[in-house]
Structure 1
Amino acid sequence: MAKHTVCILGGSGFIGTTIAGRLGHDGHRVIVPTRHRERSRHLLPIPNVELVETNVHDEDALVEAIQDCTAVINLVGILNELSGPKGEGFRQSHVELPRKVVSACQRAGVGRYLHMSALGAGPEAPSLYQQTKGEGEQLVLAAQSESLSVTAFRPSVVFGSGDSFFNRFAGLLRLSPGFMFLPTPGAEFQPVWVNDVASAFIRCLDDSSTAGQALDLVGPQRYTLEELVRYTAKVAGIRRHIVPLSDSMSRLNARLLGLVPGKPFTMDNYLSATVPNVSDDNALPRLGIHPTAVEAVVPTFLGPHEKNNRYQSLRREARR
């Protein structure tokens, strides 16, 4: 594999940190733009990673940040809007930013752009999250040309040490007073391991056959949300009575929690959950990646000895 200089937007997040770590340890130069350098200091121990303070929503600043890059990876996305007019935050992150990134790549002469979309994204999807993700995906794929090779990735929920899915539910279960109400218990997911997602991005840096495509990334097995939450409780050793909510109660739950600071569950989240987050067209095997099962990883960071296992889990995710 040729050595790259890769700019990762959203590089300090859960998935970005994994990709940056893999690339940096493999000898590639990694540039991570950030507004707040201090919030991204956990990346500094990774070899060949550079933090650059900049506003990624400023296209001229983007052009400067990616000037010497051979590839750009955009992982920026939000699950909820915490403030502002409805839909504005989603559009800024999922549509307007990708538009600026494509333009910046074209201006800076960057030849490869890898874009994070989402499973279920599309203009006809029920939620604003999915609609704007779909619009952004279509926008970047339309920019595919001889000078700019574009690939989009559509993962299901991504799991691993430090994720915001299994860890979040484990935290909610621990805080629950003996029971926990669970909205949308029948929502379907096909969780994919963060290191498999990172492998897909890295392999596609030099794989021109994926240009112009949107690749679904999913794990080997499908689950309902209720099954995943019960599994979380079992692995973490938390005894709680889980109360599945009906569709009408799930809607009410979303309306109420959408008013709580931090918006732990919103109507847009509810609408997203009405679309099965699964796929029959998994791109991982085509990329030479064997999808990793939830059961092979989650016990390493949620089990009763998770503190002792955390180091081994991190080593595993770094393939070290």
Structure 2
Amino acid sequence: MAKHTICILGGSGFIGTTIAGRLGRDGHRVIVPTRHRERSRHLLPVPNVEVVELNVNDEDALVEAFQDCTAVINLVGILNELSGPKGEGFRRAHVELPRRVISACQRAGVGRYLHMSALGADPEGPSLYQQTKGEGERLAIAAHGDGLSVTAFRPSVVFGSGDSFFNRFAGLLRLSPGFMFLPTPHAEFQPVWVNDVASAFIRCLEDQATGGQVYDLVGPKRYTLEALVRYTARIAGIRRHIVPLSDGMSRLNARLLGLVPGKPYSLDNYLSATVPNVSDDNGLPKLGIHPTAVEAVVPTFLGPHEKNNRYQSLRREARR
């Protein structure tokens, strides 16, 4: 693969850190814009990764940052709005930012744009998250052509050491007083390993045949949320009684928790969960990537020897 200069928006997050680390170690120059450089300090030791302070809401600043780039990756997304008018935060992150990034790519002469969408993204979906993710995906694919090659990716729940799914549920289980109420227990997911997601992005960087395509990224197995939470408890060695909630109680739970600071769960999350987060059209095999099972990875960071196993998992993800 030729050496690239790649700007990764959202590059300091869980998925971005994995992609940036792999690209940097492969000898590519990686630029990670952030409002607060200190919050991305974990990337500073990674070879060939530069963390720069930048306001991503300023299109002219993006154009300047993209000047020497051969590719731009946009991973920015939010699961909940923490403040402001309803829908404004989702639109700002999932629609207006992609629109601005695409325009900046075109102005700066960037030839490749990789866009993070989401499984279930649909302008007509039941949740604001799905609707705005769908709008952003349409914007991205519509921009394909005239010198800009665009590929979009739609992952299910992404897991791995440091994720906000299995680790989050393990934390909630540990804090629960002997039992835990579980909303939408029958919601379906097809979790995908973060390293498989990173491999998909990296393989598409240079493969022009993937331009204009949208790839679903999912793991090899489907699970209900209840099955995943029970699995988390078993692997983490946490003995709790899990109480599945009915649909009505799940909606009420979402409304109540949506009022809690930080919104651990919201009505929009509930609405998203009403759509199965699974796919019969997995893009990983199409890209030559064998999907990794939950059971092959989760015990390495939640198991009884999790500290040592987490270290080994990080080494494996870093290919050391």
Question: Scaled by the length of structure 2, what TM-score is found?
Answer: 0.99
Match of 2:6 in 1: 6
Match of 1:204 in 2: 204
Q: Which 10-residue stretch deviates more, 140-149 or 156-165?
A: 140-149
Q: Give the partner amino acid of 1:120.
A: G
Match of 1:31 in 2: 31
**Cα distance, 1:319 vs. partner?**
2.4
DSSP 3-state at the match of 2:283: coil
Match of 1:318 in 2: 318
Match of 1:130 in 2: 130
Q: Distance in 2 between matches of 1:66 and 1:16?
A: 17
Q: Distance in 1 between matches of 2:103 and 2:173?
A: 44
1:76-95 aligned within 5 A: 76-95=76-95
Q: Give the partner amino acid of 2:57.
A: H
The question of whether the paired residues in 2 share the 8 Å contact of 1:193 and 1:294 is answered with yes
Identical positions, percent? 88
DSSP 3-state at the match of 2:122: coil
Match of 1:159 in 2: 159
The question of whether the paired residues in 2 share the 8 Å contact of 1:114 and 1:152 is answered with yes
DSSP 3-state at the match of 1:152: strand
Q: Distance in 1 between matches of 2:209 and 2:279?
A: 21
**Cα distance, 1:219 vs. partner?**
0.2
**Cα distance, 1:146 vs. partner?**
3.5
Q: Distance in 2 between matches of 1:319 and 1:164?
A: 22
DSSP 3-state at the match of 2:206: coil
Match of 1:222 in 2: 222
Match of 1:99 in 2: 99
DSSP 3-state at the match of 1:73: strand
The question of whether the paired residues in 2 share the 8 Å contact of 1:112 and 1:205 is answered with yes
Match of 1:114 in 2: 114
Q: Distance in 2 between matches of 1:84 and 1:107?
A: 31
The question of whether the paired residues in 2 share the 8 Å contact of 1:196 and 1:289 is answered with yes
- Root-mean-square deviation over aligned CA pairs: 0.5
Q: Give the partner amino acid of 2:174.
A: R
Structure 1: unaligned runs, 5 residues or longer? none
Q: Give the partner amino acid of 2:128.
A: L
Q: Distance in 1 between matches of 2:265 and 2:217?
A: 24
Q: Distance in 2 between matches of 1:294 and 1:316?
A: 16
Q: Which 10-residue stretch deviates more, 39-48 or 306-315?
A: 306-315
The question of whether the paired residues in 2 share the 8 Å contact of 1:257 and 1:266 is answered with yes
Match of 2:173 in 1: 173
- Give CA deviations for 1:72-95 in whole Å, capped at 9, x if unaligned: 000000000000000000000000
Q: Number of aligned pairs?
A: 320
Q: Distance in 2 between matches of 1:17 and 1:241?
A: 35
The question of whether the paired residues in 2 share the 8 Å contact of 1:182 and 1:226 is answered with yes
Question: Scaled by the length of structure 1, what TM-score is found?
Answer: 0.99
DSSP 3-state at the match of 2:42: helix
Q: Distance in 2 between matches of 1:319 and 1:228?
A: 27
Q: Give the partner amino acid of 2:56.
A: V
Q: Distance in 2 between matches of 1:271 and 1:207?
A: 36
Q: Distance in 1 between matches of 2:85 and 2:135?
A: 19
Q: Distance in 2 between matches of 1:298 and 1:73?
A: 27
- Give CA deviations for 1:238-291 in whole Å, capped at 9, x if unaligned: 000000000000000000000000000100000000000000000100101000
Q: Which 10-residue stretch deviates more, 268-277 or 139-148?
A: 139-148
Structure 2: unaligned runs, 5 residues or longer? none
DSSP 3-state at the match of 2:177: coil
Match of 1:298 in 2: 298
